[in-house]
Structure 1
Amino acid sequence: MQIKESPEIFDAIIVGSGAGGGMATKILSEAGLNIAVIEAGPFFDPANPESRTQLKWSYESPRRGASTTRDFGDFDAAYGGWDIEGEPYTKKNGTKFDWFRSRMLGGRTNHWGRISLRFGPLDFKRKSLDGLGDDWPISYDDVKPYYDKVDKLIGVFGSNENLPNDPDGFFLPAPKPRLHEMYYIKGARKANVPVYPSRLSILTKAINNERGVCFYCSQCNRSCSAYADFSSGSCLIFPAQKSGGQIKLFTDSMVREVVIDDSGRATGVIFINKLDRKEYKLNAKVIVLAASACSTARILLNSKSKIHKDGLGNSSGLVGKYLHDSTGSNRSAFVPDLMDRETYNEDGVGGMHVYTPWWGNNKKLDFPRGYHIEISGGLRMPAYGFGFNIDALNKFIGANVGGYGNDLRNDVKKFYGAIVGISGRGESIPMESNYCEIDPNVVDEWGIPVLRFHYEWSKHEKLQAKHMHDTFEEIIDGMGGHALGDKPTEEEDFGLLAPGRIIHEVGTTRMGDDPKKSVTNKYQQLHDVDNVFIVDAGPFVSQADKNPTWTILALSWRTCDYIVSELKKQNI
């Protein structure tokens, strides 16, 4: 096919517009660089009435908000999911890895939970503590100034608690606990489990004139039309455009590969425009990959040349290796004291108001690392399938809950708000044996070879999940509640969700000082090609028991400062 090449040479091409790509767009454009941003999905602005899903009732959908169209419900802001028509991926050796993709400007930042936790000092040096995996080539002190900048730029609510591995920050006022969260606090304290105000990137107080303040509709997963929560488009890319940045957006554009010249340096990228299905080439001095850990690995592995025969940046053979996701397991509880509640608006933010950071002493436990606990429940907007597990309640109560007509309506009202959800989200051990690679026999509808996954949980993650459920039941008992469903068994991996289901995949282009044991250096610059950088979660050496977004943002900012400095020195 004939490739249409643009005559314009950009200072930088950024592939992907999520957390890392959005931050790179802002920092590099404000430094005066001429930027091209390539996004695989369409343009999206949550304030646009044509695309807005916020403040719509579930009954406005013929499916009552069910997840048959989008994985998180009809009105969720994610254009995509674990399965996208025409864009398959494959698995080998019984792997259960599920890969979530969000094809839209802003990517997954439009629908995420906004849990915005810094990695702590111990998280960067885990091998030194337990002998597993590897230490990062950087420390918390290297990233702290950028965490501080991200806090102030984007806004995050919370409270300073002086916890050793959950660093304090610059926090906006945290919302008060709702009733179900007060019951959780009661149960957790009886179980000697700490509880603190959550840390979410949602504005509870104005920080500038361009963004609104949260009005507690509890629909952050729909992306906020007032820009009160963090999404990459509304908080990074749009402000960068308004401030006069030289930014050209290429949406609905699927990147196939990075183009390499005869000397082995990157000169641009080739992408397929999804609308006219033609191939295009853009040229630039610097390439910044921010497509997500797995998508970036796919682009690199598909970027083969005479010099980079195994894929770009893959002289170590580690592109795609050490893939890992957060651990996750859930339990729900029926709390009799919350039955027959008065119905009132307690929506709050679109996430938890309190949470439990890791509190355990691994020297006394049979597994390494740890997890934090998330809480859900309350008088959330009813949707298809909401409410309660009828079979589990019948087993506990010994009565016929539910049914049809008035009986069903009366029981829904009786149990509405009486179910509390508890979830553990933890750290897994990075292993070279967990990876993604190019499937030699399968391409997507754009003709691009797809990824094939291999992933298995180790005994460490399974024992961590067992500890989660032991803790859940102790907390539920302290709440005066009753755990619904049977406790997961060892044969069920203690309820451990399939890898990929928490959507925190990291590690496929890990950073390090040794080019033989890593893909990028400590500035997320390819060891093999000095004008290619990666600013998604691929360079993470380990995940920590925290959500990765705040660290993606901080490291992207740090990398972009380095890019600007190196360009000024004419080193790249």
Structure 2
Amino acid sequence: MAFEIKKTGKVYDVCIVGSGAGGGMAAKILSDAGLKIALLEAGPKYDPADPDQMTQLKWPYESPRRGASTTRPFGDFDAAYGGWEINGEPYTKKNGTEFDWFRSRMLGGRTNHWGRISLRFGPRDFKHRSYDGLGDDWPISYEEVAPYYDRVDKMIGVFGTKENLPNEPDGYFLPPPKPRLHELMIKKAAGNLGIPVIPARLSILTRPVNKERSPCFYCSQCNRGCSVYGDFSSSSVLVKPAMKSGHVDLYTNAMAREVLTDSSGKATGVLYVDKTDLQEYSVNAKVIILAASACESARLLLNSKSAKFPNGLANGSGVVGKYLHDSTGASRSAFLPQLMDRKRYNEDGTGGMHLYIPWWGDNKKLDFPRGYHVEFGGGMHMPGYGFGFGMERMNGKYPGKDGATKAAGGYGAGLKDDYRRFFGAQVGFAGRGECIAREENYCEIDPNVVDKWGIPVLRFNYTWTDHEIKQAKHMQDTFEQIIHEMGGVANGTKPGADTMYGLENPGRIIHEVGTTRMGDDPRKSVLNKFNQAHECKNLFVVDGGSFVSQADKNPTWTILALSIRASEYVVDQLKKQNI
């Protein structure tokens, strides 16, 4: 017996699937233009200022779990409803793949808990094939995207400094916060090694940009969602003002199943499952914009089969789901003896690093292509559950207050005293680099598995190559050099070839892009340079799926810039009656 599909009874100008960076920006731009919008979100509504949802400024002991294993990957108070594993929403892998897929089911998506690292791609990042012969060039240049980066900077706010580095474009910056002690030590040590360290570029307000948002008050808890909207989250900064326009209808707990099309192949709406009543509904619109994340949007297209699109919507090229790639990632931590017995003072700052290392290497002199940046951690932040020493060096012996050596830890007063002595003496390094997009890395529909909503799930195929492994080795060598120059002691054994030098599983850095890549040739790409599907003129994809290549930068600022560009193209094409 077939279930009846319920229709909303309203035809919108635009239906947007996903409310993260790309979807939120599309909702803002299109609502400002006066278009009537349906915004579909697979999770619940979220507002970090809502007392019932707010987790900012709570002590660890206020968690209802009180030390039990957390239900969220980044901690009990993290503003991410989801994770790499979600009950009832599986995904599968083949050929020994170790891909981990992060989903954030909530208004604003992943932008609620990310690190706010807001870097522009540079001129070289759009044209890498022209430099090293690997991958493909984008069909657009930095010069074409730069005006949209400028608008994102001014609309949202990002701190930083003008550095005039060739492939690290400067923008419109707010004043950066002062470096912390451990960051100054890293800067000095790295400088001695010829490695540049510059102020970080984070989308956190160090002074006001409008009346709706207050500047950061340096609680260092951006991952919990900001109650004064001092950092960038799509839910607070884009969707909230878009909703005030009166032009946006928000559909929460709406799990999109497929994009509907007519006999001519034109997109007519989106079919979704309401997670509260398990009924299927359709939302009809003149234009469909997918912004559900690179893999989720690919899943939607692959599940949208019809007589005209037997391999999935807009997939005549067979490229949907292919060229999937995530940032590389490797990390190391260290103990700094000179930071023991520190005087207590407020060192929280913003919820992220105040300094970072942009890519500085010359690939012509290295054994791998592309590059990475380095993020720092450390300081005297509020300890969480399980705070300890994490120190396995110097045979576990440390200088006591009387000058004699002793083993750290124990119990009672001695344990508490050691906690105080070692607090703030740890520093961490995390490399985030570029993986080269390859057709062999992809996601596809698993023919045998569905999720709890009855929707066929994704199956992943992914491997790292020597390019990425050698890049991770270079990361570890760099961390070791800086730690030694600082007079620190690296924690644990240096990762070696047996672990691919600590290279994280693909998907763990949560920067996956490329599954609906743009290009000028419809035989080799899914979208044109305006994020518009080659084979379906009223269908657009504005998440990271459109990326031809990743860079040694985080993708969010580029997603936002391209979403503005695509959204204004939608407005223009609607006016010209081309879609």
Task: Name the TM-score class by shorter chain.
Answer: over 0.9
Give matches, 1:357-506, under 5 Å: 357-392=358-393, 394-395=395-396, 400-506=407-513
Give matches, 1:85-124, under 5 Å: 85-124=87-126
Give matches, 1:20-419, under 5 Å: 20-64=22-66, 68-242=70-244, 244-392=245-393, 394-395=395-396, 400-419=407-426
CA distance in 1, matches of 2:331, 2:211: 39
Shift in Å, 1:65: 6.5
| Distance change (3 Å), C-alpha of 1:66 and 1:487 | farther
Whether contact under 8 Å (2:397, 2:407) holds in the other structure is: no
CA distance in 2, matches of 1:4, 1:100: 30
Shift in Å, 1:386: 3.0
CA distance in 2, matches of 1:413, 1:439: 52
Shift in Å, 1:37: 0.2
Whether contact under 8 Å (2:396, 2:408) holds in the other structure is: no
2:163 maps to a residue whose letter is: E
Whether contact under 8 Å (1:332, 1:419) holds in the other structure is: yes
Shift in Å, 1:399: 5.0
| Distance change (3 Å), C-alpha of 1:462 and 1:279 | same
Q: Which residue of 1 aligns with 2:570?
A: 563
**Structure 1 stretches of 4+ moved >3 Å:** 62-67, 390-399
More displaced stretch, 385-394 vs 192-201: 385-394
CA distance in 1, matches of 2:451, 2:242: 33
Shift in Å, 1:245: 3.8
Q: Percent identity?
A: 68
CA deviations 1:218-261 (Å, max 9, x no partner) are: 0000010000000001101111222x241000001100000011
**Normalization by structure 1: what TM-score?**
0.98
CA distance in 2, matches of 1:91, 1:389: 33
CA deviations 1:59-93 (Å, max 9, x no partner) are: 11154567621000000000000000010111111
CA distance in 2, matches of 1:339, 1:495: 28
Report the 3-state secondary structure (helix = DSSP H, G, I; strand = E; otherwise coil) of the residue aligned with 1:182.
helix
Whether contact under 8 Å (1:387, 1:419) holds in the other structure is: no
1:80 maps to a residue whose letter is: G
Task: Determine if the alignment matches structure 1 residue 514 to structure 2 residue 537.
Answer: no
CA distance in 2, matches of 1:133, 1:380: 41
Whether contact under 8 Å (2:391, 2:492) holds in the other structure is: no
CA distance in 2, matches of 1:62, 1:289: 37
Q: Which residue of 1 aligns with 2:401?
A: none
Shift in Å, 1:562: 0.5
CA distance in 1, matches of 2:69, 2:208: 34
**Normalization by structure 2: what TM-score?**
0.97
1:537 corresponds, among 502, 519, 544, to: 544
Aligned residues: 571
Report the 3-state secondary structure (helix = DSSP H, G, I; strand = E; otherwise coil) of the residue aligned with 1:465.
helix
2:298 maps to a residue whose letter is: A
Shift in Å, 1:384: 1.0
Shift in Å, 1:388: 2.9
CA distance in 2, matches of 1:183, 1:30: 46
Whether contact under 8 Å (1:30, 1:245) holds in the other structure is: no
CA distance in 2, matches of 1:165, 1:260: 42
Report the 3-state secondary structure (helix = DSSP H, G, I; strand = E; otherwise coil) of the residue aligned with 2:430.
strand
Shift in Å, 1:477: 1.1
1:163 maps to a residue whose letter is: L
Report the 3-state secondary structure (helix = DSSP H, G, I; strand = E; otherwise coil) of the residue aligned with 2:544.
coil
Unaligned runs of 5+ in 1: none
CA distance in 1, matches of 2:388, 2:555: 30
2:536 maps to a residue whose letter is: V
CA distance in 2, matches of 1:64, 1:118: 40
CA deviations 1:332-369 (Å, max 9, x no partner) are: 01000100111221100000000010000000000000
Whether contact under 8 Å (1:64, 1:383) holds in the other structure is: no
1:152 maps to a residue whose letter is: K
1:382 maps to a residue whose letter is: P
CA distance in 1, matches of 2:394, 2:417: 15
CA deviations 1:398-422 (Å, max 9, x no partner) are: 8532222222211111110000001
CA deviations 1:162-192 (Å, max 9, x no partner) are: 1100000000000000011111112111221
More displaced stretch, 184-193 vs 198-207: 184-193
CA distance in 2, matches of 1:403, 1:559: 60
Whether contact under 8 Å (1:66, 1:73) holds in the other structure is: no
RMSD: 1.1
1:384 maps to a residue whose letter is: Y
Shift in Å, 1:545: 0.3
2:158 maps to a residue whose letter is: V
Whether contact under 8 Å (1:393, 1:401) holds in the other structure is: no
Report the 3-state secondary structure (helix = DSSP H, G, I; strand = E; otherwise coil) of the residue aligned with 2:407.
coil
Unaligned runs of 5+ in 2: 399-404
Report the 3-state secondary structure (helix = DSSP H, G, I; strand = E; otherwise coil) of the residue aligned with 2:332.
strand
Report the 3-state secondary structure (helix = DSSP H, G, I; strand = E; otherwise coil) of the residue aligned with 2:25.
helix
